[in-house]
Amino acid sequence: MGQSILVLIFASSLFLLSAASPNPPGPKPPVPPSPLHQDSEEQAKLYLSELEGRYSGACNRQITVRWNYITNVTNATAAESTAADTEYLNFQSSIQQEILTRFPNWSSLQNETVRREFKYLAIRGPATMPAPDVGAMTALQSEMETAYATVGVCEYNSTENCGLRLDPEIEEKLQTVTDPAELAHYWTAWHDAMSAAVPPIKYQQFLSYQSAMAKANGFKDMSEMWMVTYDDETTGWNADQFKTLIRSLWGDIKPLYEKLHAYVRMKLRRIPEYAPLIPNKCSYIPAELTGNMWSQDWAKLDNITKPFPDAVSLDATEAMLKKNYTVLKMFQEADKFFTDMGLEPMTQTFWNKSMLERPDDGREVVCHASAEDFCLGKGSQDFRY
């Protein structure tokens, strides 16, 4: 599935979330501020230039502590990460207050780039919340991340090997196992384990903090606060316009998606082991059959669903294994792909400090893929995976 489709689906989910929530009247439109003088325009540019170094330092401290946490998940590193997140939020709060004090009419800035920077810097986020609530919210987020990285389940029909984590063990099982009962076990066991580690009341509390933060910043809900980053500076652009656009785009691709879904369902129903799970032509496809915990990657079904079974497979895995590809070599080939197009190569720091594979020293780590920028500004060499 292409990146653009993933973005579309993600945005569509935001629309559904916000549509399902109450829609109270929004705040009254503010009185348009008076235009700023030329000297204020120059002062705003100078302020942003000076702020870059301060923001870079604060961000670097936060991401450095977070990196230590995601590459070595312990109670101690989790607590340090929570404290660093809270410190960074407090820093952002101080900057937001600074902007509102020094540039109360920032929305009248004539330079579009400068005005846009101020727009995002001035969204106060957690700064609108009491300090104890900010601490509680960041602690809950850290707790959920730790559970996601460390929760384990038992192997199918076994009570001995009970340390199978989502990444990589359970994901590998979902991609390779064909027995529907075993697939259902892993899907259900992991969700049950996560529900035990993060009870619904904790997630509901986290959502309540998020909702309170959004409303305190003048948004109807958290989805609207997220959507502000899609603002294209078009006059009148708002969350409702964005949702209308997404609804229209989804309408364009939905007929094709429904045909693909029906085709895959038809193929699965022809397999005796799967047929009872998909009793009729209007049934849903059980998530575990797709080979992915979130049903977002159906590559496992290629051999079942491809319309021309005798055609040469597009799966390069076998050929890569014959050529002794390693994880490092795959990253190097990917880097070469981009440099061949004229883009900059990855830095030496990236190759020296990235964690491309789960370490074998017993550490718990967050294996969910992420690209980290260590916030060192222009010319930075510190990017990690």
* Euclidean distance between CA atoms 310 and 346, whole angstroms: 40
One-letter identity of residue 339 = T
What does the pLDDT read at residue 232? 65
- Please report, rounded to a whole number, the percentage of residues in the chain having pLDDT higher than 90: 59
AA letter at 197: A
Top-confidence range, 115-129, 216-230, 263-277:
263-277
Amino acid identity, position 272: P
pLDDT digits (tens, 9 = 90+) for 43-57: 999 999 999 999 999
pLDDT in tens, 303-345: 899 888 888 877 888 899 999 999 999 999 999 999 999 999 9
Model pLDDT, residue 341: 97
pTM for this predicted structure? 0.73
Question: In the structure, what pLDDT confidence band is assigned to residue 368 with cuts at 50, 70 and 90?
Answer: confident
Among 54, 132, 65, residue whose Cα is nearest residue 94: 54
Instruction: Give the separation between CA 353 and CA 374, rounded to whole angstroms.
Output: 12
Q: Are 291 and 298 in contact (CB under 8 A)?
A: yes
- Cβ neighbours for 57, distance < 8 A, ≥ 6 positions apart: none
Lowest-confidence segment of 10-24, 190-204, 302-316, 345-359 by average pLDDT: 10-24
Highest-scoring range by mean pLDDT, 20-34, 105-119, 180-194: 180-194
Distance CA 190, CA 165 (A): 8
pLDDT, position 23: 40
Q: For 362, left (φ over 0), alpha (ψ -120 to 50), or beta?
A: left
Residue 357 gets the label, from left (phi > 0), alpha (psi -120 to 50) or beta, of beta
Can you say which residues are annotated as belonging to the binding site for chloride? Answer: 230
The pLDDT of residue 281 is 87
Q: What is the pLDDT of residue 227?
A: 86
How does residue 14 score in pLDDT terms, banded at 50, 70 and 90? very low
Determine the residue type at 294.
Answer: W
pLDDT at 34 exceeding the cut of 90: no
At 330, give phi and psi (nearest 5°). -65, -40
Average pLDDT value over all residues in the chain: 86
Give the residue-averaged pLDDT of 8-24: 37
In the predicted structure, residue 7 carries a pLDDT above the cut 60:
no
pLDDT digit string (tens) for 89-135?
889 888 988 998 999 999 899 998 899 899 888 876 777 788 888 88
Does residue 138 carry a pLDDT above 60?
Answer: yes
Q: What phi-psi label fits residue 185: left (phi over 0), alpha (psi between -120 and 50 degrees) or beta?
A: alpha
The mean per-residue pLDDT over the stretch 353-374 comes to: 91
Pairwise CA distance, residues 166 & 152, whole Å: 7
**Span 229-256, mean pLDDT?**
85
What are the structural domain ranges in the chain?
A: 129-308, 318-384
Average pLDDT for 294-304: 91
Residue ranges for the known binding site are: 230
Average the pLDDT over 204-213 and give the result: 94
